[in-house]
Amino acid sequence: MFANYDSPEHHLAQRPGLTAELRKLLFDTPKEEWGSHNNYWRGAEMWQGIHRSLLHESGLFVGGLEKLADLPKGEMEAALLLNDMRHLGGHLIGHAHVHHHVEDDHYFPRFKEVFPQLGRPIDLLDCDHRVLEETLDAVEGHVRAFQAEKTDKDRIGAALLDAKKLDRILNRHLADEEDIVIPALLKGL
Ligand SMILES: [Fe+2]
Ligand SMILES: [Fe+2]
């Protein structure tokens, strides 16, 4: 548990980034040096690759829903795009859940064991996952309702709002997580 997580300086949906107090606890390899570090291939590269693909899928999902929101209902193109969004949304949700589980069950406990100074930053990420899971559940509810015969403009609009929220908090979480985790991975886990 992260004390005071619900305050605006810490909560995922509100914070502008990590506080100075948390940054002081991190290893300080500058971002520009990550990719050329000797240990980059030992986990950090894969970690960033997964994040990039999650953000790519999330961006495509928001873009597709925006296009769908502008298409007249009943058009063949709208039905096809809706079907694509059902698949893409389902994939994004599954991918994010699996990634969170791997971090929660394996990497985060290991980081805390090997680098005790990262305890608080890792607890923050752990709380972030709960916020992300709530939004993923909301998006999942929309995706399940994406049956062409039942889907209306209101549903698309609500899905778009939640997809944009997910995209925003996913970007925040992944950027902060990389600042916490990548320099530690480069040290060697
Ligand atoms: Fe995470
Ligand atoms: Fe992650």
Residue in the structure block whose two tokens are 């990262």: 118
CA 72 to ligand 1 centroid distance, Å: 37
Q: Where are the domains of the chain?
A: 35-187
Q: What is the DSSP letter of 7?
A: S
CA 76 to ligand 2 centroid distance, Å: 37
pLDDT (tens, 9 = 90+) of the chain, 189 residues, equals: 899 999 999 999 999 999 999 999 999 899 999 999 999 999 999 999 999 999 999 999 999 999 999 988 778 788 889 999 999 999 999 999 999 999 999 999 999 999 999 999 999 999 999 999 999 999 999 999 987 666 788 999 999 999 999 999 999 999 999 999 999 999 987
Contact 174, 51 (CB under 8 A): yes
**pTM (2 decimals)?**
0.95
Contact 131, 148 (CB under 8 A): no
Q: Phi/psi zone of residue 73: left (φ > 0), alpha (ψ -120 to 50 degrees), beta?
A: beta
Q: Under CATH, which number does the domain 35-187 receive? A: 1.20.120.520
What single-letter amino acid sits at 32?
Answer: E
